[in-house]
Structure formats: C-alpha cells, structure tokens
A and B are shown apart, each in its own frame.
Chain A
Amino acid sequence: MTRKLLKTTASALAITFAFSATGALAQDMPSKEEMWKMIQQQQEQIKKLEAIVGVTTQKVEETAVKVAETEKKVEATGAALDNVAVTASAGSSNATTIGGYAELHYNGGDADQIDLHRFVLFLGHEFNDNIRFFSELEVEHSIAGEGQVGEVELEQAYVEMDLNENTRVSVGQILIPVGILNETHEPPTFYGVERNNVEKNIVPATWWEAGVKLSGNLTESFSYDLMMHSGLDTTGKDYKIRSGRQKVGKAPWKNTAFTARASWQAMPGVEFAGTFQYQDDITQSGGLDQSASATLFEAHANVERAVSDNGTFGLRALFAQWNVNADQADLLGRDTQRGWYIEPSYKITLDDQNAVGFFARYSVWDNEAGDSIDSAYKQTNFGVNYWPHKNVVLKMDYQIDSFASESKEDNRLNLGVGLYF
C-alpha cells in the first residue's frame, strides 16, 4: 500500500516537471538545478520510506510467527490445565477418586437418642479402562474402640476387571448381590431415617463377604451375578442370620457359599430381581456333625417412574426367606426366617435441586418363623424426605410397631440428615 503511494507521488512529480519545462509558466518554476535537487531529495525520501516499509513487513512476518508460537503455547498450557482439572475432578481414566456419605439420626420414643449412624469414605482407582479398584471404609456410631458403641469397618475392597463389554469379574471383599439396599444404600437414595428392618434382619444388610463375582448382561434388560464367597458362621449365635456375618475378619472359611442373582430391567425405572443362595454349612464346621445347610431366597420389585414433568411414582416390594436345615435350628424355630415389605412413594421435583417425597411402608419380619409361636414383628412407617440438593436429604418418619412381644414396641418419631458426595 505504501509502495503504491510512493510510486504515484513520483509519477505526479515527473508529470509536473514535464509541464513546467514548457511555455509561459517556465519563468515561475524552479530552475533545473533546483528541480534536480528536489528530485534527489525525493529519491532520498523514497529510499528511507522503502526501508521503513521493509522493516515493517519483516516485523509483521515476525509477529505472525510469534502469534503462531503463542497459540501453540496456549494450546499446551490449556492441555496441561485440562489434565490438572480433569484429574482433580476425577473425570479421566487412570484416576484415583474419593467420595463418601454420612447420616445423622435422632430416634425419639423409648430410644430418645442421637446417633451419627454412619460416616463412609469411598476410595477408587482406575488402572486402565478395564481394571479398577473400589473400597468403602465406614465408621459406625461415631466412635470405635474397646468398650465403645461403634465400629470401624471395611465394607468393600475389590478389584473389578472387564472381560468384555458385557461381562466383568470382581475379586476381593464384595457386597453380596441381594436385596435393594445391600448394594445401594446412600441416604439420599432411599426413604425412611433407618434402613428397613426386613433387609436388616433377614437379608441381612449390609452384608459383605470375600470371594469372586462374575457379573454380566445376557440381553439389554437381563443381567446376572454369580458369586462364590465366604459364608456365615452362626456358631454360638443360635442360627440368627444377622449375627452370623463374619465381616471377613480372620473368618473361618471351611464351607463355601454360592449366590446367584437374576435381574430384569423391564423398562427404565422398573426392576424385578431374584437372588438364590446356598451355604452347605452356616456353622463353618467343615463337615462335622453340627453342620447346618441353609438357603436364602429373595425377590423384589423396585419401581421409580416419572408420571409427570415433576412427579415420580415409586414402589419397592421385597420378600426374603431363609431355610436352615439343622435340628437345633428347628427347635429354636429358626429353620425358617422370613420377612417382606411394601413401600409406595411419590416424589415431587420442585426445581433443579429441590424435591420432596412422601412414603409409607409396611414391614413384617420374623427370625423364628419355623415354629407355631407368634414371634413376628410388624411395623408401619410413613414420612417425608426433603432434598434441598440432589445429594443432601432431610428425613422424618413415624413408626408404629406391632410386635408379638409388646414390650419391645417403640412407636416413635425419627429424624435424620444424610448426604452423599
């Protein structure tokens, strides 16, 4: 652009000079010497301007190179920051992740107590896209130690490997694939301050064992779990199932247990599942005369379906029964231990984060159902969950007990706060 301007100026001067050399105007014009001097001055100026243009062009080219280099540096910095941000938020493979949940309960009635029931930390690590580790460490009832009411427990610690897109195997300390709550029990995911008593006393949740689990999908809606694991030990515990959990602490493993679960996701938000378990001796006697084989059958439906833009209908129903084959268990009525519950609910989504849900639950359980003596526990709960955030829940429910032993009844108000992160 500048060059063009200079050339135009020079041409104009030349034309002016040509005209000035002729006719009457000549006497008003500069002399030839003066004109020559002016031309030389102009030439000098053109050279200077050309030099400036050359320098400017070089600088523009240098600037373009620097911009390209800067873009590369920004790209590299961005990539590095992406990596830092993604790693910090565990959004990449090869990440170590942390999470957890906690719940604080107030139980009114005869109990009349406050209890930080659970504080749990998750720690996971993904070695690659196909191999990962997961663990769950829990403090129950806030304080643990000699003579204290609480416990420190490692609920899960296992390695999971994908065999192919639809099959994976887990090895380690694993939650037993049974029931609704045993594997998914973060407080914001269920109704009621306390976990339901059927799964607690019959299943018995939360229940983990050491072993190997094969899981997979047969079709898009059918999945299965097969697990071979350590079993219960009810020795000295009168065949009471919940008391037989060994929690994988120097636990006798003379007899192996097998668990199989089939699950059908009929449609999103609708699941039907059944679990069968066999243990050839829940006294871990290794085949001695006190052996007691046992089977567990559990079936449940778990429904959570949107019925409007803001409304979700829920229904949980579960049945579980143990059959224990031992003379002593017969005498105690513990050859059959069973329970069931049904829990309808309705959740209203108030906005992006807030929701409120109402539920009612009727439960029956009996760990001595094998005899003719009425020993059943019946309980009705109704209450409300309020989620001020998707991962935080405030709970309130009222329980009405109807037990065979009236002295154990404790009709009461329960309050709770739970969170997950």
Chain B
Amino acid sequence: MRGITGLLYFLILLTPSLWAGAAVTEETYLKTDDYITAALGQKPEKPGILWVTGDMRLTVEKILDRKTFPLRYRYWRNGNRTVWILNEIGKVLPITTGITVENEKIIDLTVLTYRESHGSEIRFPAYSNQFNDVTLKDNLRLSKPINGISGATLSTNAMKKVSRLALYLHHKLMEENGSTTAK
C-alpha cells in the first residue's frame, strides 16, 4: 500500500511534465524541414528522387547489412550539396537521421529523432561531429574509425550504416549527373 501511494505521488509530480510533453509533438514533426532548410539555405519545393536501379540494390543491401527492397531515396539538393533523411533501426526502434553531403564528404550528421531507451547521447555533437569530413572508401567503409556510445553499440552501428548510405547515394547521384568520376 505504501508502495502504491508513493507511486501515485510520483505520477502526480510528473503530470505537468506530461502535459508539456504533449505540446512538443508538432515541433518534432517540423524538425526535418528545419534541418533541410538550415543545411541548404532554403528548402527546395520538391525533393529529388534517386531510383535504386541495377546493381545499386546489392550495394545498398551490403551497406545496410540486410536484405532490403529499396525502391528510391528522396534527397534535397543545392548545387553539389545534398541532404538525405534516413531511418535505420538501432536496437529495436528506428533512428531518424539527417545527413548533409558535399563533394563526397559528410559535412553534417544530425540525429533528428532518437527512439531507443539507451544511448541518447548519440544526438549530441560530441558524438555526431566525428562524422564531419568523413568520406567513403572504395570498399564502402568510412574513411576513419567512429567511436560508439557505451550501452548503445547497436545504435552506433546504425549511425555508421546511414552515413555510409548517404555518401554512396550522393556519389551515385553526382555520377548520374556527370559531376564525379566513377568509384
């Protein structure tokens, strides 16, 4: 009985915070638009679409390390700078990440929505800044090692996957437009 009474007190204390939490839902949905606009200076009216054709699917599967059937990826572009919004599962739930690539290098990686219970530090610059200036090597690995977050190994693996995927998709897009040499 004492336990349940204490629990009720705890819940009552949390109530104002719960109402405050309900109010942030819309802000969370707008975050993707904000990211794209900040990354490109302005948000293009429509995203571009990169279709996954031919051998691309096999490469995407290799990067994501699982069977998948990607049809296409949306991107936002301004000159040689592209923005990719990608989802990948950490332990159980998807992590939504914005990645900006320019001239085959990541110039920003930002976790837009983190849903896992552990490892939320992954959202902060101390972790995400490690991806700045990272490129994709010929063997589809990142050009430098990325340190993880303790207790969130699976989420950090997901971050490495989406960063490799964004670099690969950027490369293919530029290749289609004749802006780069074949990798």
- Known A91-B94, A97-B93; contact A269-B149, beta-carbon cutoff 8 A: yes
The answer to whether B150 and A271 touch across the interface, beta carbons within 8 angstroms, is yes
Cβ contacts under 8 Å, B146 to chain A: 268, 306
Please measure, in the bound complex, the distance between the C-alpha atom of A33 and the C-alpha atom of B66, giving whole angstroms: 83
Residue contact A99 to B91, C-beta cutoff 8 Å: yes
Once the chains bind, are B72 and A186 in contact (CB under 8 Å)? Answer: no
B113 at the interface (CB under 8 A from A): yes
Grouping DSSP codes into helix (H, G, I), strand (E, B) and loop, the B interface class, with mixed when no group exceeds half, is mixed
Closest to A270 in B: B150
A256 touching B125 by the CB < 8 A rule? no
Instruction: Kindly identify, within residues 116 to 142 of chain A, every residue whose CB is under 8 Å from any CB belonging to chain B.
Output: 122, 124, 126, 128-130, 132, 134
**Would you call B89 and A184 a contact (CB within 8 A)?**
no
Q: Which B-chain residue is minimally distant from A303 (CB atoms)?
A: B150
Determine how close the nearest CB of chain B comes to the CB of A293; give it in whole angstroms.
13
Binding stretch for chain A, among B13-21, B36-44, B102-110, B170-178: B13-21
Contact yes or no, B125 A130, CB < 8 A: no
Residues of chain A contacted by B141 (CB below 8 angstroms): 352
Q: Is A212 part of the binding interface, using a Cβ–Cβ cutoff of 8 Å?
A: yes
Distance (Å) between the CB of B110 and the closest chain A CB?
A: 12
User: Contact at A304–B150, with CB atoms within 8 Å?
Assistant: yes
**In the complex the two chains form, is A253's CB within 8 Å of B151's CB?**
no
Q: Does residue B182 face the partner (Cβ distance < 8 Å to A)?
A: no
Interface string of A370-410 (1 = CB under 8 A from B): 00000000000000000001100000000000000000000
Among candidates A91, A183, A389, residue contacting B88 with C-beta atoms closer than 8 Å: A91
A122 B150 Cβ-Cβ under 8 A: no
Q: Contact at B71–A265, with CB atoms within 8 Å?
A: no
Kindly provide the distance from the CB of B103 to the nearest chain A CB, expressed in whole angstroms.
23
How many A-B contacts at CB < 8 Å in the complex?
182
Stretch at the interface among A107-115, A163-171, A317-325: A163-171
What's the Cα separation between A353 and B63 when bound, in Å?
10
Closest chain-A Cβ to B154's Cβ sits at a distance in Å of 7
Shortest distance between the CB of B37 and any CB in chain A (Å): 19
Q: Quick one: given A189-B153, A254-B3, are A164 and B125 in contact (CB under 8 Å)?
A: no
Decide if B21 touches A162 in the complex (CB within 8 Å). Answer: yes
Q: Is the CB of B24 within 8 A of A253?
A: no
Count chain B residues whose beta carbon lies closer than 8 angstroms to a beta carbon of A: 61
Is B65 positioned at the interface, with any CB of A under 8 Å from its CB? yes
Given contacts A132-B93, A161-B18, A212-B14, contact A256 B126 (CB under 8 A): no
Which of A165, A220, A256 meets B24, CB within 8 Å? A165
Min CB–CB distance B169 → chain A (angstroms) = 15
A130 and B21 contact, Cβ closer than 8 Å, known pairs A91-B87, A390-B157: yes
A134 neighbours in B (Cβ, 8 Å): 92-93, 117
A132 and B69 contact, CB distance less than 8 A:
no
Chain B residue numbers with a CB within 8 Å of A390 are 65, 157
| Closest chain A residue, CB of each to CB of B128 | A268
Q: Separation in Å of the A241 CB from the closest CB of chain B?
A: 19
Which of B4, B11, B71, B87 is the one whose CB lies under 8 Å from A92?
B87
Once the chains bind, are B149 and A268 in contact (CB under 8 Å)? yes
A150 part of interface (Cβ distance < 8 Å): no
Interface residue? A309 (CB, 8 A): yes
In angstroms, how far is the closest chain A Cβ from the Cβ of B21?
4
Residue B25 interfacial (CB < 8 Å): yes
Question: Are A78 and B147 neighbours in the complex by a CB distance under 8 Å?
Answer: no
Tell whether B140 is near chain A: CB-to-CB under 8 Å: yes
Q: Which of A122, A164, A268, A302 has the most CB of B within 10 A?
A: A268
Asked whether A160 is an interface residue with its Cβ less than 8 Å from the other chain, the reply is: yes
Residue in chain A with minimal CB distance to B140: A352
- When the two chains form their complex, are residues B91 and A95 in contact, meaning their CB atoms are under 8 A apart? no
Q: Taking A124-B92, A167-B17 as given, write out 12 further A-B residue pairs in contact, using a Cβ cutoff of 8 Å, ordered by the A residue number.
A: A81-B71, A122-B91, A122-B92, A126-B115, A217-B120, A265-B150, A268-B149, A304-B148, A309-B144, A309-B145, A352-B140, A353-B65
Can you show 17 pairs from A to B with CB atoms below 8 A apart? A89-B89, A90-B89, A91-B87, A91-B94, A93-B94, A95-B93, A122-B91, A132-B115, A183-B151, A212-B11, A220-B124, A220-B126, A228-B7, A231-B3, A253-B3, A309-B145, A312-B145
A interface with B by C-beta (< 8 Å): 78, 81-82, 85-86, 88-93, 95, 97, 99, 122, 124, 126, 128-130, 132, 134, 160-167, 169-170, 180, 183-184, 186, 188-189, 211-212, 214-215, 217, 220-221, 223, 228, 230-231, 253-256, 265, 267-271, 286-287, 302-306, 308-309, 312, 351-353, 389-390, 420
